[in-house]
Chain A
Amino acid sequence: MAFDLEGLYRTTYDSVVRFLYRKVWDADRAEDLAQEVFMRALAHQPEKPRSWVFAVAANIARDEARAAFRRRKHLVLISHEPSAAPAANDDVEEAMDHAEQEAEVKRALAMLTPRDREVLLLWDAGLSYPEIAEQTQLALGAVGTTLARARQRVVEAHDSMEGQRAEHRANARS
């Protein structure tokens, strides 16, 4: 089968960026890493490009995390890139709101076991159960169970945070 980089790029680029973003939490860095993933794909011309791309993305993200840890430096959360136009007040508020929501999701994801999180992120990236099984070394039958647990836990973790937030608000008011 001919290797179709263009098609692969078109169909998976956004998913790869999102997948990486949820590991490095920096939009620019995620895109840089995604570029590298596709460069490598072009060099290797893998047989199963879709799963290959995510396997490499996972590896790159892992290396990235190790390097960041060595540098003892946290990755910048907020992009340095100045926005093209000065943002209106609404946008700023919306951005803050979004950042807050995102931080909650990030923390909820952090509360999962690495394996559960990986399966969840791979599923959201559009991989099928067999593809997820291959990449995570799980038995095919275990993917559904893992995914069920991961979904349950991430929502529970998120809900508990929401609950805490509501409590804080109530306390602040009284």
Chain B
Amino acid sequence: MPNIARTHVPEAELHAYCDGELSPSQRVEIAEHLLGCLICRAQHAEVAELRARVTTLLAIASPRQIGRRVVPPARRPRRASRMMIAAAVAIIGGGAWLLVPPSDGERRPTQLATSLGLVDFFRLGHGDADLAALRDRQLAMAMRTIAAPQVQAGRAAPQFLRPLLIGTGTEVDPVVTSEWTFATMDDALKAANGRLARVADIPVRLVRIHPSAAGGRPTFLIRQELADGRFVWVVEGLEGDVAPVEQLLQASGIAMSAATRTRPDYVGTGAQTTITVRMVRVVGYLPVDSLNVLAQKLVVR
């Protein structure tokens, strides 16, 4: 049984979390905990920063250039002279005895050499000893050449705010059924008589519309993206229409801000006038406090 009421995440575990060294289930457990725990979120941010700093420091302690002493591929020789063999031995130095015996390594050096366009070497009629020495030399050169000179500044610092997304769940709009249709923002505004609530200052990524059961104004689901890549949804609809949606949301475990009532809309004229009240909530995989703060930034436009 998962330990729901776990205490704070130990620091070492946060390191392992940042390093991607936990099992998927452990990851999810910690991600969920981080969503709800301010203390651990702060700790997580500290660990992430520490980790990034260490990477930067270690990157300083690196050779400025790796692989600069690349030996250029040899020209195709007519035959192996004694000097060349001597040179080969000199180049490989103490490493020569470590090479694979010919029976085992017959193909590998050729592969290496082929990759460098040096295969001609092996087709020439050399004595076995010459060939072995030459092959060794080729191999030594090949090994130096294979890795193109490139300096990496250590591991790239991963995006730490993203792991808070649990799986792909947050990418999918909550409680969406086939009755929800996609709409452009313009269409949605038209359907909403130009008055549609959304959180100010963050971009709208997707709009969905659900027809009203009462035949009035449809219900809107607006997906907006926060600066850190997480999504929130603004649910807006007539009181009676949003109630079932809210029930579904509640059941799905997603958090909702306190409902905001908009000013009443007066539809029709005279005795035919009906007053409709729209309810707006901000929904997301975030602490309720955060959603309430976002709800205060709702604007109707």
Contact = CB atoms under 8 A, between A and B. Distances in A.
Contact of A27 (B63, B99, B154): B63
B143 A31 contact: no
B53 interface: yes
Given A30-B63, A129-B16, A129-B19, A124 B55 contact: yes
Interface stretch (B78-86, B105-113, B120-128, B238-246): B105-113
A52 interface: no
Contacts of B58: 18, 22, 105, 120-121, 124
B56 to A, nearest CB: 10
Contact of A14 (B51, B54, B66): B66
A126 B155 contact: yes
Interface string A80-121: 000000000000000100100110011011000000000011
Contacts of B16: 129, 143-144
Interface stretch (B145-153, B159-167, B192-200, B253-261): B145-153
Contacts of A121: 58
A68 interface: no
Given A13-B67, A102-B60, A147-B15, A36 B94 contact: yes
Contacts of A14: 66-67, 147, 150-152
Given A129-B16, A151-B50, A22 B61 contact: yes
Contacts of A40: 95, 98
B187 interface: no
B75 interface: no
Given A6-B111, A40-B98, A151-B51, A17 B63 contact: yes
B98 A109 contact: no
Contacts of B99: 39, 42-43
Contact of A13 (B15, B92, B112, B147): B147
A143 B255 CA distance: 36
**Chain A interface, >50% SS class:** helix
B37 to A, nearest CB: 19
Contacts of B230: none
B38 interface: no
A69 to B, nearest CB: 20
Contacts of A30: 63
Contacts of A35: 95, 140, 143-144
A109 B57 CA distance: 10
Contacts, number: 125
B296 interface: no
Contact of A105 (B61, B95, B151): B61
B61 A123 contact: no
Contact of B60 (A6, A28, A98, A128): A98
A148 B15 CA distance: 6
Residue among A21, A27, A28, A128 with max Cβ neighbours from chain B (10 Å): A27
A123 B228 CA distance: 27
Nearest to A132: B21
Given A14-B152, A36-B95, A42-B100, A145 B12 contact: yes
Contacts of A53: none
B99 to A, nearest CB: 6
A144 B13 contact: yes
29 contacts: A5-B112, A5-B143, A9-B147, A10-B147, A13-B66, A13-B147, A14-B67, A14-B150, A17-B66, A22-B58, A39-B98, A42-B99, A42-B100, A45-B100, A101-B60, A102-B61, A106-B61, A120-B54, A124-B54, A124-B154, A129-B16, A129-B19, A143-B16, A144-B12, A144-B15, A148-B47, A151-B15, A154-B54, A155-B50
Q: Lowest 8 CB-CB distances: which A-B pairs, in order?
A: A27-B63, A144-B12, A39-B95, A105-B61, A13-B147, A145-B12, A144-B16, A43-B98
Given A14-B151, A43-B99, A154-B57, 19 more contacts: A9-B147, A10-B146, A13-B66, A14-B152, A17-B67, A18-B62, A18-B63, A21-B62, A22-B62, A27-B64, A31-B63, A39-B92, A40-B95, A43-B100, A105-B58, A124-B55, A128-B21, A144-B21, A155-B54
